[in-house]
Amino acid sequence: MAEIDDGGIRIGAAAQALGVSVDTLRRWERDGRIRFERRAGRRVLPAEELARVLRERAPTSASSARNRLSGVVVDVERDGVMAKVDLACGPFRIVSLMSREAADELGLRPGVAATAVIKATTVVVERER
């Protein structure tokens, strides 16, 4: 059974990503703290909603990197040496290239909560004309 269902995360995978129980998520839904969609009789959490809750619950940390986007892994492509990791961070898609060893050690797979920490010396800013 897949953890991601047509762009949404099933309640069990969402609970694991947030570090809470399924019962807690049901209670949060009743209290209006989180919004699930119903698909074929199942609770499915949109990736943007998971990212919002992750941002609210994210601990502060000491780092010189100021760009931290919490989200969920939606895809991991591994080859012999490298891995390409796609994250949904709210409305944003973040792609990271890393060693396969790092991806394996982090346990990265679809449905897992992760944070993209971005520190770059070059930032390109665009504007529509």
For the segment 83-92, what is each residue's pLDDT rounded down to a tens digit?
Answer: 999 999 888 8
| Residue 111: φ, ψ to 5° | 95, -10
| Residue 37: φ, ψ to 5° | -105, 155
| Residue 91: φ, ψ to 5° | -85, 5
92 DSSP β-pair partners = 89
Beta-carbon count within 10 A of 49 CB: 18
Give residue 98's pLDDT. Answer: 95
Give residue 29's pLDDT. Answer: 94
Q: What is the 3-state secondary structure (H, E, C) of 31-80?
A: CCCCCCEEECCEEEEEHHHHHHHHHHHCCCCCCCCCEEEEEEEEEEEECC
Give residue 54's pLDDT. Answer: 83
Q: What is the CATH number of domain 67-118?
A: 2.40.50.100
67 DSSP β-pair partners = 118
How is the chain split into domains, by residue range? 4-47, 67-118
Q: In which residue ranges of the chain is pLDDT below 70?
A: 1-7, 59-62
Tokens of 88: 């949904």
Give residue 2's pLDDT. Answer: 44
- Helical pair 47-57 and 11-18, crossing angle rounded to 10 deg: 20
Give residue 7's pLDDT. Answer: 65
Give residue 118's pLDDT. Answer: 87
